[in-house]
Structure 1
Amino acid sequence: MASSDTESNYAVFRECVSSVIIARSKQHKPSKTKRKASRIKAAKRKGNAESTDESSAPSTPAPAEEENPEELADFIDFIATEIFTALPEPLQSLSYSAIQHSPTLSTTYSIPLAHSTLESLSNPLPSTITDTLSTYTPDLEALSLLNKILTDYIPAVTRPPPVWASTRAEACEICERDWIPLSYHHLIPRGVHDKVIKKGWHDEWMLNNVAWLCRACHSFVHRMATNEELAREWFTVERILEREDVRDWARWVGRVRWKAR
């Protein structure tokens, strides 16, 4: 898991594994409790006091041994790592950009997955997965587990970027001040959009990505580089924050507060 895309995708994948495993674990299954409560309420409405005695109340099963959350987390992490590292690299690093550039990827990993695709993905899985699934999910086979996980994972990592207005932050994405007005900064400046497409620096769908910045940080970003440099090198907030001069600026300007009137 060397690339940043793969690492971020693994975090999503692990959450998908967690969702399936936890939903099928022994804990937090309220159906019996709810049924018991409703029957007791019904008995009270009838005014039959004896109906709530031990002889007529529904029997309470002996509590199952509580699952250790730490052990469950370790199990989830183990299953996620074993499966993810056995998947093909294109699936590990799958993204919206990847499926836009590859019709083959888009077809292969469209949901629902073809049974043949599932089988080819499950064949390389280590036997340790099948051997350990019975711990928390005895009724779930590896193929079914993989299908449930990928049905959540693939749409999660291939969603198109949100419309810029819906990304509005509550604080400046550089200095983190949240008490001042923000404006949006085109991470790929509009003045060079035509050149960006002509030179093939970025895909068209990336052109309207924005960062929400205070006026001071917005001005600083445009002082630190030309529009072309911003488009080629500093086209994400994460990249901008890698610069030491930006981090120094953010620490300083973050201490600038207006006096109350």
Structure 2
Amino acid sequence: MTAIPEDQEKNYEIFLDCLSTALIEKISQPQAKPKRRTKPKSKKPTSTPPQTKSANPDPETEADTDLTSADDLADFAGYIATTTFHSLPSDLKTLDYYLWTRSPSLQTTYTLPFTGTSIPPLPTLDPAIADSLSTYSITREPTQGINEFLAPILTHYLSLITKPPPAPRATLKEATGCEICERNYIPLSYHHLIPRFVHSKAVKRGWHKEEDLQNVAWLCGACHRFVHRFAGHEELARRYYTVELLMEDEGVRRWAEWVGRLRWKGR
């Protein structure tokens, strides 16, 4: 199986999660079994040979049993996801929120929600995928073929990869304290690790990808002001665009050690 290119790995992981969730939901649904026809009781007792396992078991029964194993299900989901992802149109493999908002043509081409008749064409999809899904009773022709199975998966996938990034305020709950001095008892504010004043330049000159522009660090007021005194906008964008890079500087570490000893004075 061809490896997933690095620039597509993030989208592939999202697609794998969407497809795995759909598989789990399908497999966990109880399947209705046809009622057996009962034969009238014979007056004469008859002896029947003990039943033995068929040399050619029913593939649907065997498949359902096999996929109850977590490892088997993971392998099956990985196979289906990887093969299907390779067959997607190239723009869906690398699409993100920023490309989506700048491309009205893509928004017209990929109108959500997808249906079995409106999903993107997958001419290179291996026919073995449809056979595998049918064998494991994931799809049931003629009511649901592979297109009907993939439609909600692709709808969910596209909605996730084109979702706007969270506002910095939404990430505050993840902060346990100032990311420089580590004080956790004072108010925090967000610091754009790539200053907004140089966002256009950072993308145009290839310093950063557009999806990285909203990366923030949560800092106390003292550390926030210190960072902007420590380096200018361009230097922050080019050399100190993560907290780890900031903390590699000896001057920043000395500041963090000093300010970390400060405490609010009682009133």
SS at match of 1:85: helix
CA–CA distance in 2 between the matches of 1:95 and 1:167? 20
Structure 2 unpaired stretches of 5+: 33-63
One-letter identity of the residue aligned with 1:142: I
2:146 is aligned to 142
2:113 is aligned to 112
Cα gap change, 1:73/1:178 in structure 2, threshold over 3 Å: closer, same or farther? farther
- Count of aligned positions: 218
Q: Residues 82-120 of structure 1, C-alpha deviation per residue, up to 9 Å, x if partnerless?
A: 111111221011111011221111211220237665252
Aligned pairs (5 A) from 1:144-183: 144-168=148-172, 169-172=174-177, 174=179, 177=182, 179-181=184-186, 182-183=188-189
CA–CA distance in 2 between the matches of 1:13 and 1:234? 32
Determine whether 1:21 maps to 2:26: no
One-letter identity of the residue aligned with 1:143: N
One-letter identity of the residue aligned with 2:170: S
Q: Identity of paired residues, percent? A: 35
CA–CA distance in 2 between the matches of 1:77 and 1:167? 31
2:76 is aligned to 75
CA–CA distance in 1 between the matches of 2:181 and 2:234? 26
Aligned pairs (5 A) from 1:91-106: 91-106=92-107
CA–CA distance in 1 between the matches of 2:194 and 2:72? 46
Following TM superposition, by how much is the alpha carbon of 1:188 offset from its aligned partner in structure 2, in angstroms?
3.7
User: Which structure shows the bigger proportion of residues in helix conformation?
Assistant: 1
SS at match of 2:87: coil
Which one of 5, 11, 17 corresponds to residue 2 of structure 1?
Answer: 5
Instruction: Answer with 1 or 2: which has the greater Rg.
Output: 2
Following TM superposition, by how much is the alpha carbon of 1:171 offset from its aligned partner in structure 2, in angstroms?
2.4
One-letter identity of the residue aligned with 1:71: D
CA–CA distance in 1 between the matches of 2:178 and 2:10? 20
CA–CA distance in 2 between the matches of 1:178 and 1:21? 45
Cα gap change, 1:136/1:154 in structure 2, threshold over 3 Å: closer, same or farther? same
Normalised by the length of structure 2, the TM-score is 0.63
CA–CA distance in 2 between the matches of 1:176 and 1:257? 5
Q: Residues 50-98 of structure 1, C-alpha deviation per residue, up to 9 Å, x if partnerless?
A: xxxxxxxxxxxxxx85811111111111111111111122101111101
CA–CA distance in 2 between the matches of 1:162 and 1:257? 29
Normalised by the length of structure 1, the TM-score is 0.64
SS at match of 2:125: coil
8 Å contact kept, 2:191–2:217: yes
8 Å contact kept, 1:79–1:129: yes
Following TM superposition, by how much is the alpha carbon of 1:189 offset from its aligned partner in structure 2, in angstroms?
2.7
1:42 is aligned to none
Structure 1 unpaired stretches of 5+: 32-63
2:218 is aligned to 212
CA RMSD of aligned residues (A): 4.3
One-letter identity of the residue aligned with 2:184: W
Following TM superposition, by how much is the alpha carbon of 1:158 offset from its aligned partner in structure 2, in angstroms?
0.4
One-letter identity of the residue aligned with 1:19: T
Determine whether 1:229 maps to 2:232: no
SS at match of 1:123: coil
